[in-house]
Amino acid sequence: MTTQPNKLSCIFTCWAVAAAFGVVATVVARVMIEISWPGSVFCGILVAAVLGLLLSTLLCGGSTAPRYVQKAAAAPVSTATAAPTGPTAAAPV
């Protein structure tokens, strides 16, 4: 298990690499594929976000989600359904 400073350094490095790839993707989308500037910026942001999450999860060993999101995901979920109350008559056809 990595220590907290090492893990933060790992996460920062992964996001920095992802941001660099996002910039490259923006330039490639604009120059080579000839997508408009807003479209190429969107592609760059999308590449950076997906790559940052993927790299930080795979290489740094763990989720980068905030703790309250992790606690909510770990909370037990009840799958019981309530029984109907009152008479249940068939609807006329």
CA distance 5 to 13: 12
Say whether 6 sits in a helix, a strand or coil. Answer: helix
Type of residue found at 32: M
**Over the stretch 25-69, which tens digit does the pLDDT of each residue have?**
999 999 999 999 999 999 999 999 999 999 999 998 865 555 555
Say whether 39 sits in a helix, a strand or coil. Answer: helix
Q: What is the pTM of this model?
A: 0.62
CA distance 28 to 81: 52
pLDDT for 61: 82
